[in-house]
Amino acid sequence: MFKSNDCLILCRDKNYTMEYTDKQKLIIDVAERLFADNGFAGTSVRDIAKEADVNIAMISYYFGSKEKLLEAIFERHGEIIRMKLESIINNKELTPFQKIETLIEHYLEKYFCQKDFHKIVAREQMSLRETPISNMLHEMKKNNQLLVKQIISEGQKKGDFKKNIDIPLMMATIIGTSNQVMTTQHFYREINNLQHMNEEDFLKHLRKKLGHHLKSLFKAILTYED
C-alpha cells in the first residue's frame, strides 16, 4: 500500500473539510469503500451499517438515504479539491508554472491516495442518466477548471504562458493520463520489468515517473521554453 507522507497528509485533510462528527466520517469512509468495491446498486444500507458497526437508523438519521450518503462523499471530495486549488492560486511564493507543477502533484496524490473515490467517479461518468450525482460532478469539474483558469491567466499576463490554452483538454490530459496509468499499472510494471519491486516502492516509482512526464509535457504545452 502506498504510504508517502504527502499521501497521509492528504488523506488526513479530508476529515477537517466538512463539519462531520467522527461517527459520520466513519460511515462516509465505509460507504465510499463499499461503493467502490461493490458498486452503488450492489451495496445496501444494511451492508454499510454492518461494516461501520452502527445501526441502520443512525445512517438514516444522519444522511436520510443511500443516495444522500453518496452525495456526501462527493461533497467532501469536492471541498478538498476546491480548498487545495485555492491555496495554490493564493500562494504568492510560487511562479505560475510552479503552481501548475503543484497542481499536477495534487492530482497525482488524489489518484494514488483516493482510489476508491475514483472508482466511483469512473462508474458515474459512464452513466448517461442525469442524476444529482452527475450534476454535482459536472459542477465540480466546471468550478475546478475556473480555478485552474486563474493560474493560466496569471501566467499569460506575466508572459510566461502561451495564449489560446485549451484548459478542458489540459485537465483531461492530467486526469486521463493519471487514470490510464493507475488502471493499467500491472501492464506498466510488466513491460518495464519491475516485478522485483514491492508494491510500495513500485507505486513511489510510478508516481515519480508520471509526475516527471506530466510536468515535461505541460512545460512544452504552456511555456515558450524549448
CATH for 5-17+73-222? 1.10.357
d(CA 21, CA 62): 10
* pLDDT at residue 119, as a whole number: 87
Domain boundaries of the chain, sorted by first residue: 5-17+73-222
Instruction: Give the residue carrying C-alpha cell 499521501.
Output: 7
Q: What angle do CA 23, 29, 46 make, to 5 degrees?
A: 75
DSSP 166: -
* pLDDT at residue 5, as a whole number: 37
Find out whether 31 and 48 touch, Cβ atoms under 8 Å. Answer: yes
Sign of the alpha-carbon dihedral angle for 151, 152, 158, 161:
positive
Find out whether 151 and 104 touch, Cβ atoms under 8 Å. Answer: no
pLDDT tens-digit profile of 65-86? Answer: 999 999 999 999 989 899 999 9
User: What's the Cα-to-Cα distance from 32 to each of 68, 121, 129, 163, rounded to whole Å?
Assistant: 12, 11, 21, 40
* pLDDT at residue 224, as a whole number: 84
> Which residues in the chain land under pLDDT 70?
1-18, 128, 226
* pLDDT at residue 13, as a whole number: 43
* pLDDT at residue 128, as a whole number: 65
